[in-house]
Chains A and B, each alone.
Chain A
């Protein structure tokens, strides 16, 4: 036997090894859809909706199959999971639900396919609001996703608890101090109740950065987070420190939940499913969609909610114009760049966005409409008490800076919030650490000190 023989054998066995494991069976007639399934097992809104879509799709396109890939995870874990799926053609879903908060980072990574060729020939694209169309438009000017709704944010308050604290049922706070004073009044008059919830820290994730912090920050002046003209992130602003100080005040004065509850990853589930319906929380800085949980078909039916809960716009810091702040996000349907079935996936997008299905989804999920035909639809307008109020906030709403590094900036904000919530750091120190983090994220020339 010649000495080359072992070499040959090694090569052969290597070949044998690598050939198994391929052939994962990517069926050309099956379109795979990845979406987030709530960690609250009572919430199956998307699952129920997509089950109906699957039936429609397989009826409409004979011989084609739709495979649902639910990812049951918290939001952060969902993003990580789909990014990893999209890294390889073997695991990439064809259609994926993307949060507009992250979509630019994923576009830059080359995970998504531009849809301009499809959109050009699609008659419904003109129905979408301009801001919604822009939410999935990348720096290269191309569009990578079709939004299926948006949301706005404001204050929910419990009128019964307010009555006990001597506060009006038509409460209209004009400044941050009005909000804090109302919380203090509740704390004095109604012991055992959480006066005010503002999401904070890494547990609540993006919910803390956007629903908590940026609702405050965007009421302190124009473009407080990122300066689009200079293309730089802003460090060291007074607005940033004031917003952190607000968060610190809420927890230092014990106007919020116990810090350990506030920092728990499941806090948002508890706010909507437990604290508000059980009358344990007086004021919640929260989203337009809360009502959907309390509807008869929601995860926590609560027949009295429309009578008990009032709504108010969140004020700017000291009442400056326009006097109210809201932030909006939203999700899009996007096609994975590594999908081999882009055409089939697009047919599915068109089906998802037929006027009936689009309206159905918007109503089911308690979304704010992004299409004029949906917004005008009677079924939408009468879908839920308060839908008019939250739709009205759209004209003063802000979108987050849609940049690839935004997720990292968001996590730096969450850490700053968490350190003032626990009392580990002073406002000053947390703001300084944020500025340092910002420079390491965006580079020294991507940051502007003010």
Chain B
């Protein structure tokens, strides 16, 4: 009997075998190779053979003020553009659109989603021309007789954060639209009858009811934002100096421009760690109250 069951279990695995093999080959393999690289001094050029160096790359990272600067900027970029920007703006748009007439809703939705579906590099160039010293934003400011700024040079991290908000808000808007539509009407109506103001309704009813969606959205948003590379690379290349060099850009610079593949991979693993920390914090904050 048990043998027969074991047999059946084995048979059940059969259809999964090709997929499992594919995953092992093309995903687990490269990931394992990456982890291995992080503990070696592999270089892209200038080296006859690589050797195992243990934790040297990680020690180097913590002693490297370029790395510290990148961590700090990554936090700024993530908090500004994901937590504050995309998340809040996405929720606000979703809430406002519930009340809007259909044509307004359709138009707003189309515009916001258009920014999201644009390829990253196209969006980056649009925003580069917007923020450039001789770009659209300064032209508008000039027309309004306001002082102009060389945005990409003086406030590069703000410029790329704004760019990321512009590009990624649609995702939050969609998540929150779906979440708000799920709230049963009678609860909101009951609160209204009891005379709760709009803000109190938001705080005591709406937010608790969509807390799950908030958690999911924050998590996905943060992880997407942490790995933004093309947008920053095309707009500022991490410069001027290293004033917009977030971790992915720093990683690329070390691995491919300075040829330090091993060190770059170690930084990639540390970036993974940063993502894990954010995720853990969200999970804790949004745990269902018992």
| Assembled-state Cα–Cα distance A408/B13 (Å) | 51
Give per-residue flags for A404-422: 1 if the beta carbon is below 8 A from chain B beta carbons, else 0.
1101100100010011001
| A48 interfacial contact with B, CB 8 Å | no
Given A84-B44, A405-B46, A419-B241, verify A13-B258 contact (CB < 8 Å). Answer: no
Give per-residue flags for A103-131: 1 if the beta carbon is below 8 A from chain B beta carbons, else 0.
01110111100000000000000000000
Chain B: CB-nearest residue to A406: B46
Q: Chain A contacts of B44 at CB under 8 A? A: 80, 83-84, 109
| Assembled-state Cα–Cα distance A258/B133 (Å) | 10
Q: Chain A contacts of B117 at CB under 8 A? A: none
| Assembled-state Cα–Cα distance A194/B256 (Å) | 34
Verify A17–B25 contact, CB threshold 8 A. Answer: yes
Question: B7 → chain A, closest Cβ, in Å?
Answer: 7
| Assembled-state Cα–Cα distance A109/B261 (Å) | 13
**Cβ-neighbour of B60 out of A3, A106, A404, A440 (below 8 A):** A440
Verify B257–A76 contact, CB threshold 8 A. Answer: yes
Q: Which of B1-53 contact A (CB under 8 A)?
A: 6-7, 10-11, 13-14, 17-18, 20-22, 25, 43-48
Given A105-B259, A106-B45, A202-B239, verify A3-B22 contact (CB < 8 Å). Answer: no
Given A106-B45, A405-B46, A407-B45, verify A10-B20 contact (CB < 8 Å). Answer: yes
Verify B152–A110 contact, CB threshold 8 A. Answer: no
Give per-residue flags for B161-185: 1 if the beta carbon is below 8 A from chain A beta carbons, else 0.
0000000000000000000000000
| B237 interfacial contact with A, CB 8 Å | yes
Q: Chain B contacts of A1 at CB under 8 A? A: 7, 10-11
**Cβ-neighbour of A411 out of B20, B237, B258 (below 8 A):** B258
Verify B13–A265 contact, CB threshold 8 A. Answer: no
| Assembled-state Cα–Cα distance A76/B13 (Å) | 48
Verify A259–B133 contact, CB threshold 8 A. Answer: no
| B208 interfacial contact with A, CB 8 Å | no
**Cβ-neighbour of B21 out of A5, A10, A203 (below 8 A):** A10
Q: Chain B contacts of A259 at CB under 8 A? A: 153, 240
Give per-residue flags for B257-277: 1 if the beta carbon is below 8 A from chain A beta carbons, else 0.
111000000000000000000
Verify A263–B21 contact, CB threshold 8 A. Answer: no
| Assembled-state Cα–Cα distance A18/B46 (Å) | 31
Q: Chain B contacts of A106 at CB under 8 A? A: 45-46
| B108 interfacial contact with A, CB 8 Å | no
| B150 interfacial contact with A, CB 8 Å | yes
Verify A9–B259 contact, CB threshold 8 A. Answer: no
Size class of B's contact patch? 20 to 34
**Cβ-neighbour of A263 out of B43, B239, B259 (below 8 A):** B239
| A181 interfacial contact with B, CB 8 Å | no
Verify B46–A263 contact, CB threshold 8 A. Answer: no
Verify A108–B257 contact, CB threshold 8 A. Answer: no
Verify B239–A418 contact, CB threshold 8 A. Answer: yes
Q: Which of B80-139 contact A (CB under 8 A)?
A: 133
Verify A203–B237 contact, CB threshold 8 A. Answer: yes
Verify A404–B46 contact, CB threshold 8 A. Answer: yes
Question: A270 → chain B, closest Cβ, in Å?
Answer: 12
Q: Give the total of A residues in contact with B, Cβ under 8 Å.
A: 43
Residue picked from B46, B256, B257, most chain A C-beta under 10 Å: B46
| A6 interfacial contact with B, CB 8 Å | yes
Question: A435 → chain B, closest Cβ, in Å?
Answer: 14
Verify A17–B22 contact, CB threshold 8 A. Answer: yes
Verify A422–B241 contact, CB threshold 8 A. Answer: yes
Verify B153–A80 contact, CB threshold 8 A. Answer: no
Verify B240–A3 contact, CB threshold 8 A. Answer: no
| Assembled-state Cα–Cα distance A404/B44 (Å) | 11
Given A13-B21, A111-B45, verify A418-B240 contact (CB < 8 Å). Answer: yes
Q: Which of A398-446 contact B (CB under 8 A)?
A: 404-405, 407-408, 411, 415, 418-419, 422, 424, 440
Give per-residue flags for B58-74: 1 if the beta carbon is below 8 A from chain A beta carbons, else 0.
00100000000000000
Q: Chain B contacts of A76 at CB under 8 A? A: 257
| A14 interfacial contact with B, CB 8 Å | yes
Chain A: CB-nearest residue to B260: A408
| A260 interfacial contact with B, CB 8 Å | yes
| A102 interfacial contact with B, CB 8 Å | yes
| Assembled-state Cα–Cα distance A407/B150 (Å) | 31
Q: Chain A contacts of B150 at CB under 8 A? A: 258, 260
Verify B21–A17 contact, CB threshold 8 A. Answer: yes
Q: Chain A contacts of B18 at CB under 8 A? A: 13
| Assembled-state Cα–Cα distance A259/B239 (Å) | 11
| A93 interfacial contact with B, CB 8 Å | no
| Assembled-state Cα–Cα distance A177/B21 (Å) | 69
Verify A109–B13 contact, CB threshold 8 A. Answer: no
| Assembled-state Cα–Cα distance A111/B46 (Å) | 10
| A201 interfacial contact with B, CB 8 Å | yes
Verify A265–B240 contact, CB threshold 8 A. Answer: no
Residue picked from B6, B25, B44, B237, most chain A C-beta under 10 Å: B44
User: A residues near B, CB below 8 A?
Assistant: 1, 3, 5-6, 9-10, 13-14, 17-18, 76, 79-80, 83-84, 102, 104-106, 108-111, 201-203, 258-261, 263, 265, 404-405, 407-408, 411, 415, 418-419, 422, 424, 440
Sample of 7 A–B contacts (CB below 8 Å): A83-B44, A84-B44, A108-B47, A109-B43, A260-B152, A408-B259, A411-B257
